[in-house]
């Protein structure tokens, strides 16, 4: 869901294989964290310039049978059983040749809390309009976080090794981070000028709410203060960019200025390994260069 504010797979779920008697920081047997994205059936109907899409899917996951199980406060499991998570998808697309494109989309699933998912629900509205010389792109994206998103290690098949142990996202004291179970929005507007058929510079403005969660490093669950108690608190992003086309390849270059309500950016010259003793600041800037390939050909902004 989303274009620039891509949430990644909303219905990506996690569960524990191996049926351990307790979920601890250290694996005591062959238990591991497995992941899957809910599969399903999708129906599409086209009417003129509109396309309507709806989908539903189910998948199973393993979960302890004792009603008082809580992965953070009561991690003992008497036995395990298969349960079901149901996902839903709704989307409307509008495409008027190369002039105007728009998309509304909504995805949710029923068991985000038990499956350790990052998100429970996400929705987005996007529009792109082109004239002979100008183009405009706008996006409004919504996210609702799971109340118990698991903090999984990137290098192992288990939870992050932290002290104190916190299987869900927590601060340095192990307390749950403030974005869990919360919803928020982010939006983006961009206006560009076509110099020729291959080059189009643009200006952009973007804003993210303090609890907005998506896949990039600026997300509320990743961009946080030194003790991880607060996110950026609201992030404003201003910049200039260019789209440069070589056949079906597009090279995007952006120079961006970022301003956060809280001090969340580290000093690039900082070499301390201890996050809490590092120096953080509220302002930052970055240069982004990316290359993509579109089988359908040129899309001036490429968000749809």
Structure token digits, residue 183: 């919803």
- Predicted local confidence at residue 277, as pLDDT: 63
With contact defined as beta carbons under 8 Å apart, do 124 and 103 qualify? yes
What angle is formed at CA 12 by the lines to CA 6 and CA 13, rounded to 5 degrees?
A: 150
Distance (Å, whole) CA 218 – CA 169: 16
Residue 67 bridge partners (DSSP): none
Q: Which of 44, 77, 45, 47 is nearest to 63 (CA)?
A: 77
For the cut 70, the answer to whether the pLDDT of residue 269 exceeds it is no
- Predicted local confidence at residue 117, as pLDDT: 97
Higher pLDDT, 269 or 6: 6
Highest mean pLDDT among 15-29, 40-54, 88-102: 40-54
Structure token digits, residue 299: 């899309």
Q: Average pLDDT in the 5-24 region?
A: 94
For the cut 80, the answer to whether the pLDDT of residue 272 exceeds it is no
User: Buried (b) or exposed (e) across 179-198, using 16+ Cβ within 10 A?
Assistant: bbbbbbbbbbebebebeeee
Give the other-Cβ count within 10 Å of 110's Cβ.
16
With contact defined as beta carbons under 8 Å apart, do 3 and 139 qualify? yes
Reported residue count of the chain is 304
Q: Average pLDDT in the 246-268 region?
A: 92
56 contact partners, CB below 8 Å, separation of at least 6:
40, 41, 86, 87, 88, 89
User: Please, what is the end-to-end C-alpha distance for the chain in angstroms?
Assistant: 11
Q: Average pLDDT in the 88-100 region?
A: 91
Structure token digits, residue 238: 């201003």
126 contact partners, CB below 8 Å, separation of at least 6:
2, 3, 102, 103, 137, 138, 139, 140, 303, 304
In the predicted model, what is the mean pLDDT of the chain?
92
Q: Is 234 left (phi over 0), alpha (psi -120 to 50) or beta?
A: left
User: Buried (b) or exposed (e) across 142-162, using 16+ Cβ within 10 A?
Assistant: bbbbbebbbbbeeeeebbbee
For the cut 60, the answer to whether the pLDDT of residue 179 exceeds it is yes
pLDDT digits (tens, 9 = 90+) for 192-239: 999 988 899 999 999 999 999 999 999 999 999 999 999 999 999 999
pLDDT digits (tens, 9 = 90+) for 140-178: 999 999 999 999 998 888 999 888 889 999 999 999 999
For the cut 60, the answer to whether the pLDDT of residue 303 exceeds it is no
With contact defined as beta carbons under 8 Å apart, do 116 and 13 qualify? yes
Structure token digits, residue 161: 């090794």
H helices of the chain, in order, are none
pLDDT digits (tens, 9 = 90+) for 38-60: 999 999 999 999 999 999 999 99
């Amino acid at each position: 869901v989303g274009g620039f504010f891509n949430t990644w797979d909303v219905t990506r779920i996690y569960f524990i294989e191996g049926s351990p008697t307790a979920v601890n920081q250290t694996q005591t047997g062959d238990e591991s964290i497995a992941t899957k994205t809910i599969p399903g059936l999708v129906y599409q109907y086209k009417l003129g310039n509109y396309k309507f899409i709806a989908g539903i899917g189910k998948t199973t996951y393993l979960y302890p049978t004792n009603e008082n199980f809580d992965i953070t406060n009561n991690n003992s499991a008497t036995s395990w059983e298969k349960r079901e998570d149901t996902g839903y998808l709704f989307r409307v697309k509008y495409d008027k040749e190369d002039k105007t494109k728009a998309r509304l989309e909504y995805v949710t699933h029923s068991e985000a809390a038990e499956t350790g998912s990052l998100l429970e629900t996400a929705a987005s509205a996007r529009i792109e309009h082109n004239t002979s010389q100008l183009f405009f792109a706008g996006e409004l994206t919504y996210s609702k976080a799971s109340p118990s998103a698991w903090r999984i290690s990137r290098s192992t098949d288990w939870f992050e090794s932290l002290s104190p142990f916190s299987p869900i996202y927590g601060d340095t004291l192990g307390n749950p981070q403030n974005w869990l179970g919360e919803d928020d929005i982010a939006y983006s507007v961009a206006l560009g000028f076509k110099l020729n058929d291959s080059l189009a510079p643009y200006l952009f403005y973007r804003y993210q709410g303090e609890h907005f969660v998506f896949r990039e490093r600026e997300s509320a669950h990743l961009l946080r203060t030194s003790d991880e108690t607060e996110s950026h608190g609201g992030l404003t992003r201003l910049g200039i960019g260019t789209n440069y086309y070589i056949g079906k390849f597009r090279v995007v270059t952006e120079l961006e200025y970022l301003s956060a309500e809280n001090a969340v950016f580290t000093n690039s010259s900082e070499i301390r390994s201890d996050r809490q003793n590092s120096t953080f600041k509220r302002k930052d800037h970055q240069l982004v260069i990316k290359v993509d390939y579109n089988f359908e050909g040129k899309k001036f902004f490429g968000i749809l």
